[in-house]
Amino acid sequence: MKKFSVVIAGGGSTFTPGIVLMLLANRQRFPLRALKFYDNDAERQQVIAEACKIILKEQAPEIEFSYSTDPQTAFSDVDFVMAHIRVGKYPMREKDEKIPLRHCVLGQETCGPGGIAYGMRSIGGVLELVDYMEKYSPEAWMLNYSNPAAIVAEATRRLRPQAKILNICDMPIGIEGRMAKIVGLEDRKQMRVRYYGLNHFGWWTSIEDLQGNDLMPKLREYVAKYGYVPPSADNHTEASWNDTFAKAKAVQALDPDTMPNTYLKYYLFPDYVVKHANPDYTRANEVMDHREKQVFNSCRAITAAGNSSAGELEIDEHASYIVDLATAIAFNTQERMLLIVPNNGAIHNFDDEAMVEIPCLVGHNGPEPLTVGDIPQFQKGLMSQQVAVEKLVVDAWEQHSYQRLWQAITLSKTVPSASVAKAILDDLIEANKEYWPELH
Ligand code: NAD
């Protein structure tokens, strides 16, 4: 069986150890010959990489492991680039969340003005990764799950149209896992779904088991009462996420025929979100105080002891969708997966050039999108507005245009007026000087 060489871009990410453990657990179906890390922050990456080196030595000494901040070293001789970078890291995410809140607008990683600010930082970083891949391993594929995926996907569609990049998100996968629990199935792969939308902005229209039994009536009844909080308590879910899963009940009430993506709460109930936010302590603070500390402390402990049992790193099994995607390309499995792809007529009554999230069959030539057909006015209206925001952000980045970015923030459904949009934009420009192109 062929063995693959993979580079993880964003080697210093809090998600890297969990992904490495997941790759090791899945190596029967996706065998590795080499694993490399790449990051532009040498110090941060080293902490994660030294611990992963020990894990790899214990579990799979045959896999050649290295890490580097040099693009040529990292991107040469690879078959896949798994990209999860966060340009500006958590301190900039904190600003994305807190600046809009100062103006009574929600602050969120990928939605609203915060997501727009993050998009303006991420476009250049992801394009750079694409260019390194094309220069040093032109046959490779990039599996990108760096956020904000919608804006990044629009940028790569427009600015690197020939690139072998697949943009994928784990949120629908996480929600489907919950749906499976709700209807009493062991695994989301025991369901076949129809879904359409934009990234972090979509709806399930049909959910069946593999025998073709309709699971929507049971889900509808349950979600109307409890949202996506499954019957058996899950101690792993943090309070802020639990609230999001419970709020799906209110989101679903707007269109009971479908099941919503949880992120729609930010667009449909922004007043609720602002009211329940703490402007001095946001999700970025939660992650920095808990997840980031836990992962980095564990890595340091493992390296100091020279033994993986000294730390508590958890396998990110739900990230095995990345292996599903890699094996679909490598072994032409034709697996059906939700990907962010150019619409190209899949949704009949929607912009052909929009990047939409829809089911695709994935094989060695990449994704083959499935037809969605016509979508209803409510969804079409919301999606048209949001896709315009995403396109205007890429316009602004490309043209260094203040005007386009002001329009983008004004058009976001989370922002009440052009004057509020301008005030937020001016604060965001100040905070993002190091990362954004200079706007005129
Ligand atoms: P993190 O800050 O822990 O890690 C990101 C790493 O990227 C850092 O080590 C940083 O130094 C590095 N980096 C930043 N800019 C870079 C550049 N230009 N080139 C190379 N490396 C760079 O962040 P995290 O919480 O682990 O998240 C990583 C990314 O993955 C985020 O974009 C996050 O939103 C995304 N994510 C996506 C999904 C999904 O399925 N779509 C799920 C979880 C996280």
Query: Would the CB of 172 count as within 6 Å of ligand 1?
Result: no
pLDDT for position 417: 98
Give the count of beta carbons closer than 10 Å to the beta carbon of residue 395: 17
At residue 360, what are phi and psi to the nearest 5 degrees?
-135, 150
Max alpha carbon distance in the chain (Å)?
A: 60
At residue 283, what are phi and psi to the nearest 5 degrees?
-60, -40
Strands 80-83 and 64-68, by their bridges, are unpaired
- Cα(14)–Cα(364) distance, integer angstroms: 30
pLDDT for position 240: 79
- Cα(198)–Cα(371) distance, integer angstroms: 15
pLDDT for position 397: 98
One-letter amino acid for residue 436 of the chain: W
Question: Is residue 263 annotated as part of the catalytic site, yes or no?
Answer: yes
Residues in the chain: 440
Query: Would the CB of 131 count as within 6 Å of ligand 1?
Result: no
Q: How far is the CA of 15 from the centre of ligand 1 (A)?
A: 8
Q: Which residue has the least CA distance to atom 9 on ligand 1?
A: 12
Give the count of beta carbons closer than 10 Å to the beta carbon of residue 276: 12
- Cα(173)–Cα(321) distance, integer angstroms: 8
- H helix or E strand, kind and range, residue 75: helix 71-75
Query: Any alpha helices (H) in 270-363, and if so which ranges?
Result: 270-275, 283-287, 293-305, 320-331
- H helix or E strand, kind and range, residue 197: strand 191-198
> Which atom of ligand 1 is least distant from the CA of 90?
2
pLDDT for position 239: 77
Query: Would the CB of 147 count as within 6 Å of ligand 1?
Result: yes
| Nearest of 195, 205, 210 to residue 369 by alpha carbon | 195
Sheet containing 32-38: which strands, arranged edge to edge?
64-68, 32-38, 4-9, 80-83, 141-144, 165-167, 335-342, 355-363, 366-369
Location of structure tokens 């069959």? 361
> Which atom of ligand 1 is least distant from the CA of 15?
26
pLDDT for position 183: 96
Residue of 222, 263, 267, 321 with catalytic role: 263
pLDDT for position 233: 63
> Which atom of ligand 1 is least distant from the CA of 321?
40
- Are 47 and 77 spatial neighbours (Cβ–Cβ below 8 Å)? no
One-letter amino acid for residue 393 of the chain: V
Query: Which tens digits make up the pLDDT trace of 338-355?
Result: 999 999 999 999 999 999
pLDDT for position 241: 83
- Cα(153)–Cα(98) distance, integer angstroms: 25
pLDDT for position 226: 95
Positions in the chain short of pLDDT 50: none
- Are 215 and 208 spatial neighbours (Cβ–Cβ below 8 Å)? yes
Question: Is residue 426 annotated as part of the catalytic site, yes or no?
Answer: no
Query: Would the CB of 170 count as within 6 Å of ligand 1?
Result: yes
Query: Would the CB of 13 count as within 6 Å of ligand 1?
Result: yes
- Cα(256)–Cα(200) distance, integer angstroms: 19
pLDDT for position 234: 65
- Rounded to two decimals, the pTM is 0.97
Query: Would the CB of 85 count as within 6 Å of ligand 1?
Result: yes
Q: Which residue has the least CA distance to atom 29 on ligand 1?
A: 84
pLDDT for position 288: 97
